[in-house]
Amino acid sequence: MRVKLERPICFFDLETTGAKVGKDRIVEIAILKVNKDNQESQKVWRINPEMDISFQAIQVHGISNDMVKNEQNFQYYSNEIHEFIKGCDLAGFNAIKFDIPILVEELIRADIDFDFSKVRMIDSQVIFHKKEPRNLSAALKFYCGKTLENAHSALDDTMATYEVFKAQLEKYDDLEPDIDFLSEYTKRSNNLDFAGKIRIDADNDAIFAFGKYTGQKVLDVFKSDKGYYSWIMKGDFPEYTKKIFTKLKLSLINNK
């Protein structure tokens, strides 16, 4: 691979019970780890999500409720998954918008303290959509001249994403083979959380991106509306979003 790695990078893909980040769970996760010396290792976990897999999701990935009912839950594998990705950067196809937020929620539920603020994230879909706006199957055909025979199998999608990423680096001379550059290049927005409920404004302050306080600074609102933080904590928000709000709330208390 043309990019020089300062630390390992994990390409991964999830199959889930549905498409809602705060609600749905993982049923399969495949990870391909590329070490600094370009040596590769891969792991796949099939997981009991402890909830029904939606009909729409089954139509996409083909994993039924019966296929996972005897598998272990995410909590059982959480430490193993955490150890495999710890100290690594993360990459995937549509990862920043979907796969990483889902993984964050699962790790929080499993009481795994993983600091994603220190992880550089690369999304091959963003590179692809900026360069050639299509889907993963078309990307693999366009960049690699291959056909994705088993689309929506987690491992096949993960391997295809890795092949696309390597081909993108070879095709576009302006893509610097540097993780910091690629992470910045594939960044989707100025969101502070994965769900897009908190954003950074021109002053580098956290602002609300939803509800009656949209566009207002979070700390100013927490000062003026004492009950709003409690309302958020009781609401149907992703756990990672709540974690960021709690961090902001604590910074307000500690700076009194």
Q: Which CA distances in Å does 217 have to 38, 61, 177, 180, 225? A: 44, 41, 36, 28, 12
The answer to whether residue 152 is catalytic is yes
What span, in angstroms and rounded, lies between the C-alpha atoms of 11 and 164?
Answer: 11
Listed in sequence order, the DSSP H helices in 86-123 are 100-109
Q: Which of 61, 82, 129, 152 is catalytic?
A: 152
What span, in angstroms and rounded, lies between the C-alpha atoms of 156 and 151?
Answer: 7
What single-letter amino acid sits at 213? Y
Cα-to-chain-centroid distance, residue 134: 20
Just list the catalytic residues: 152
